[in-house]
Amino acid sequence: MSEKIALKSNSIFINISSISKNKANTAAKDPNRSDRSKWTVAGVSAHPGNTGMLNISNEIFKSIIQAN
């Protein structure tokens, strides 16, 4: 659905589903997180950690390069 919307609006769609499916990209698996005990909502750990954010930014950067 999101890809169709991007195409209709002449926007760039960046598929990061492979990043989100890889548990190594989650905050829970981030080796540099020392604040896990402060997480009061379990869903927080599923959000991207530093590795996930780096991988997302790499995909965005690749898309920018390809668009130019």
pLDDT digits (tens, 9 = 90+) for 9-29: 988 899 999 999 999 999 888
Three-state DSSP state, 49: coil
Cα-based distances in Å from 16 to 1, 46, 48: 14, 15, 11
pLDDT at 60 over 90: yes
Confidence of residue 30 (pLDDT cuts 50, 70, 90): confident
Q: Please give the torsion angle defined by the CA atoms of residues 48, 54, 60 and 65, in that order, rounded to the nearest 10 degrees.
A: -170
Mean pLDDT rounded to a whole number for the chain: 88
